[in-house]
Chain A
Amino acid sequence: MVVRVPPPSAQPRSRLRVLLASGAAALALAAGSIVPGVPLVAAPQQAQAADSGKSTLTVAVAQSVDSLSPFLAQKLFSTSVSRLMYDFLTNYDAKDNHAIPGLATKWEPSADKLTWTYTIRSDSKWSDGQQVTAEDAAWTFNKIMSDEGAAQANGNFVANFEKVTAPSPTQLVIQLKEPQATMAALDVPIVPKHVWEKVGDFSKFNNDTKFPIVGNGPFILTDYKVDQYVKLKANKDFWRGAPKFDELVFKTYKDQDAAVAALRKGEVSFVAGSPALTPAQAASLKGEKNVKVNEGPGRRFFALATNPGAQTKDGKNFGDGNKALLDQKVRQALFLSIDRKTIIDKVFQGHAVEGQGYIPPRFSTYFWQPSAEQSLAYDPAKAAQLLDDAGYKLKGDQRVGKDGKPLDLRILCHATDPNDKAIGKYLKEWWGKLGIGLKVDCLDDVSVPWYAGEYDLAFDGWSVNPDPDFVLGIHTCAALPAKAKDSAATDNFICDKTYDELYKKQLAEYDPAKRADIVKQMESWMYDSGYMNIIAYPNAVEAYRTDQIKSITTMPSAAGNIYGQDGYWSWWSAVPAGSSSSDGSGGSSSTGVVIGVIVVVVVLAAGGLFIARRRRTTVDDRE
């Protein structure tokens, strides 16, 4: 075999040159990527901030911003940033969630229940100095009503609006098609008309090109970098009073363990779970110095939903839900054989409260509990009795129906949720003892079989708002899909006359106490029906640094949560501990480290160069 030795000129260069070339390539790559992204505007402000020792509250967030336009933003994080940038007509009291003044100081319905008049406060100014008027609010609502592109995020709030006008700068009048009790719960950010009327296509305008963004909330958004951070500064002129921290930064952490590490280091002041820190994370932070783990009642419920027979609005049945579940006795038997206490202890490891009624206890006005005789507490013997009564007798170790078929069920589970899987195992065991077979179908996205009605049971859960209208509305007949398998507003195809009548009644009831009473009747009906079995209310578990945050308002204020509140209470009320201890230390030490790293690299490179040169000389000499 003849193998040609390449001529000397074509030879690869020495090791050193290869290394130098790689280094240069790396630098070129780095330079090419860095330079276009240099922020030009924010820099001087930042430098100043570091020098004058402004207090900064840094919050680790898991979600990224989908849009900074309040007309488009869908994600929870983006909508909560809107809450900080723009004032809403009303707000929710941190103590008990009742509606309190926001941009509107008072609101009242007409005698015929169809006209609401809001008094707009005269002490609120846009951050560019202009006065906030009722005209801004009227323009915002009218825009959502008339422009499909502007209705993406908040269209549901105006669906029942007939007409919105501003007869005077302090008076906003909303006329309705039907009476609506939720008029103090219009969670719509009011934007400055003089800025937004210049926007052409609302469906494409993301409000992220010009900073600072004109607003009138407790904070003014000053800078934003996609998937990295959102920076806001305190609005010193905010009518309720200026926030105590000078700056609020939301920093994106896509990995929750990394966010916990950042808290431990002091790089961030606050970390929330998504939706909660895992029991392991909470446990590891509990002993940490200067870190406080805060556990408050969650706003979510975790439930088991049964398929009541999927149907369309005009009553066409579809799907393949097990017919046995159409029998209320069977549904109740299933729920009588669930040991909720074990689930709380073993699966949630104590970070949840046992569930009963549809609305979590943190919303005390609407919280409902079954009476002793109504209660479906853990009772396998009673469950077996109910199954016998329903015609599902034990044959060997299997329940068999009148048609001779064994009672085998499927449950939809979210593959991404470890709780679903763990609870699925318990259910298999408990229901197995009763003679019921269970197949746990874990999928990345359960929505397709769910909307096709191709399931028997499903793990379900909703985040509840202070006003329960929405979570109640998803069980009305009106929420059913128009066509089979279409996704719709419905949660799990419940459609019942009694429930619907109660729903209409509560929406038209303007007396808060009477309305709460009707809502409780609905919860009671739902409980008895056995369609929705609320297993637990998972707690919100989060942590913050006590050496950076001295105090912060929770919601409810007695032992509540901090992240994802209804309102801006937490960040608006947070008091800094001492002065600027948060990022000053990190910055200076990091600069030192960078310099150190550079020195080491330079020394190593010089040493390498020296050795290579020496070697090269010897080689050349010998050759």
Chain B
Amino acid sequence: MTAESTPALVQIADADTEDPAQAGSSAARGPRARNTKAYLQYVAAKIAGATVSLFAVLVTSFFLFRLIPSDPVKQMTGGRPVSAEQLQSLRHQFGLDQPMWRQFTSYVGDALTGDFGTSFQFHAPVIDKITEALPATLLLTGTSYVLYTALGIWLGTRTAWRNGSTSDRFNTAFALTLYSVPSFWLGLLLIIVFSVGVGPIPGMFPTGGLESGGESGFAYILDVAHHLVLPVITLVAVGYAQTLLVMRSSLLDEMGSDYLTTARAKGLRDDVVRRKHAVPNAMLPTFTLMFVNLGHVVAGQILVETVFSWPGLGGLFYQGLSVPDLPLVQGLFFVFATAVILANTLADVLYPLLDPRVGR
């Protein structure tokens, strides 16, 4: 959630002064229409805000990478026999001999039409390089996202419900330990233990890459799944703690509430009280976190993608930065930022709908 969303939420809550019990009656048609209008205004404001942010990102991405002191042409040809004329010709081809303002205006102009230029090192349109690497990243981080969110919510609920028990203490400590482990180190450890094999543990999984190459059909899907196991475990292991902790603390907040006592007094089973009464109310902060994390799915995980030689966007960004391949890193930065902005906007837009105390 962005900071500016709060006043808007309050505004909507203020507008919703009618008794919700009357919401269905004909007398309530006026306020409801007002509510819808207010909501649409709110959504429009959010979208306008996001558009402004996107444009700001576009401008920032141009200057950000030009702050890195470096010479792409010299870096790319480093160590090879290249004459001064050739260096000059490359610089001309990349447009680096143009004045800064002209580079900037043509970059912004082209970007607005969806053209992010041609990668210096790969001689291919940046958009092509991004769409080429995007599926691999979505597969890895998307799968991990779904798994660590589900695991975090589930374990967070359990640990909070059994607050103070041995399993709570163990689970929380274990999750926190994994959370503080560097992902590349855990990845390497998993490779050594489960790819190469240690003692009685056989080497079960590939050491890296997305596929063995040459498989097709169902065998290909199995092959990719096989390659996916270790990187996903790494990402889930270091990622679920955050969701667990947020879920746990918000559920703990709910646990003293009167409505839970009422539910119990009705004679409902503990399991039902938790699932149907406490958890839905405790989910809201977790939803926020989920949307924040969703934005990062696209950016990939540079370190994990590197350790497992995963051909995704994270690895591409790393390669781009090492030159720096300006069109490539600009384009990637814009895509990453767009994903985060979109996820945040989506969270802002959906939040009033998800929170019954605010939305209706």
Interface residue B275 (Cβ < 8 Å from any Cβ of A): yes
With CB as the reference atom, state the residue of chain A lying closest to B83.
A156
Contact B356 A204 (CB under 8 A): no
Among the listed A11, A72, A462, which residue makes an inter-chain contact with B79, where contact means beta carbons less than 8 Å apart?
A: A462
Interface hits, A1-51 → B, CB 8 Å: 3-6, 8, 10-12, 14-15, 18-19, 22, 25-26, 29-34, 36-40, 42-43, 45-47, 49
A contact residues, range: 35 or more
Interface residue A265 (Cβ < 8 Å from any Cβ of B): yes
- Using CB atoms and an 8 Å cutoff, list the residues of chain B in contact with chain A: 20, 68-71, 73-77, 79-87, 89-90, 93, 118, 121-124, 132-133, 135-136, 138-139, 142-143, 146-147, 149-150, 153-154, 184, 188, 191-192, 195-197, 202-217, 220-222, 224-226, 228-229, 257-259, 263, 268-269, 271-272, 275-277, 279-281, 283, 305-309, 311, 315-316, 318-319, 356-357
Q: Which residues of B contact A317 (CB under 8 A)?
A: none
Given A33-B139, A262-B207, A462-B79, also A155-B86 (CB < 8 A): yes
CB proximity of A267 to chain B, nearest CB, Å: 5
Among the listed B135, B228, B269, B307, which residue makes an inter-chain contact with A258, where contact means beta carbons less than 8 Å apart?
A: B307
Interchain residue pairs with CB less than 8 A apart (22): A5-B259, A10-B356, A12-B283, A29-B139, A33-B135, A33-B136, A39-B213, A40-B216, A43-B217, A155-B85, A227-B316, A252-B209, A253-B207, A253-B309, A254-B208, A255-B306, A258-B307, A258-B308, A463-B79, A489-B83, A594-B225, A619-B272
Interface residue A603 (Cβ < 8 Å from any Cβ of B): no
Interface residue A415 (Cβ < 8 Å from any Cβ of B): no
Q: How far, in whole Å, are A255 and B92 apart by their CA atoms in the complex?
A: 34
Interface string of A563-605 (1 = CB under 8 A from B): 0000000000000000000010001011101100100000000
Contact B81 A465 (CB under 8 A): yes
Contact A30 B225 (CB under 8 A): yes
Interchain residue pairs A-B with the least CB separation, the first 7 = A46-B214, A43-B216, A470-B81, A227-B311, A448-B69, A33-B139, A33-B135
Interface residue A228 (Cβ < 8 Å from any Cβ of B): yes
Interface residue A545 (Cβ < 8 Å from any Cβ of B): no
Among the listed B147, B229, B315, which residue makes an inter-chain contact with A597, where contact means beta carbons less than 8 Å apart?
A: B229
Q: Which residues of B contact A594 (CB under 8 A)?
A: 222, 225-226
Interface hits, A206-235 → B, CB 8 Å: 206, 223, 225-229, 231
Contact A228 B229 (CB under 8 A): no
Among the listed A159, A228, A488, which residue makes an inter-chain contact with B211, where contact means beta carbons less than 8 Å apart?
A: A228
Among the listed B138, B202, B257, B275, which residue makes an inter-chain contact with A15, where contact means beta carbons less than 8 Å apart?
A: B275
Q: How far, in whole Å, are A489 and B80 apart by their CA atoms in the complex?
A: 10
Q: How far, in whole Å, are A102 and B344 apart by their CA atoms in the complex?
A: 61
Q: Which residues of A contact B147 (CB under 8 A)?
A: 22, 26
Given A3-B257, A156-B82, also A29-B209 (CB < 8 A): no
Interface residue A131 (Cβ < 8 Å from any Cβ of B): no
Among the listed A43, A597, A622, which residue makes an inter-chain contact with B214, where contact means beta carbons less than 8 Å apart?
A: A43
Contact B122 A66 (CB under 8 A): yes
Q: How far, in whole Å, are A253 and B149 apart by their CA atoms in the complex?
A: 29
Interface hits, A120-177 → B, CB 8 Å: 148-149, 151-152, 155-156, 159
Q: How far, in whole Å, are A254 and B136 apart by their CA atoms in the complex?
A: 15
Q: Which residues of A contact B149 (CB under 8 A)?
A: 22
Given A226-B132, A255-B307, also A615-B80 (CB < 8 A): no
Contact A447 B70 (CB under 8 A): yes
Interface string of A431-449 (1 = CB under 8 A from B): 0000000000001110111
Contact B217 A38 (CB under 8 A): yes
With CB as the reference atom, state the residue of chain B lying closest to A222.
B214
Q: Which residues of B contact A204 (CB under 8 A)?
A: 118, 123-124
Q: How far, in whole Å, are A228 and B138 apart by their CA atoms in the complex?
A: 17
Interface hits, A45-69 → B, CB 8 Å: 45-47, 49, 64, 66-67, 69
Interface hits, A481-528 → B, CB 8 Å: 481-482, 487-489
With CB as the reference atom, state the residue of chain A lying closest to B82.
A156
Q: Which residues of A contact B276 (CB under 8 A)?
A: 8, 11
Q: Which residues of B contact A257 (CB under 8 A)?
A: 188, 191, 307
CB proximity of A596 to chain B, nearest CB, Å: 9
Contact A203 B70 (CB under 8 A): no
CB proximity of B184 to chain A, nearest CB, Å: 8
Contact A593 B132 (CB under 8 A): no
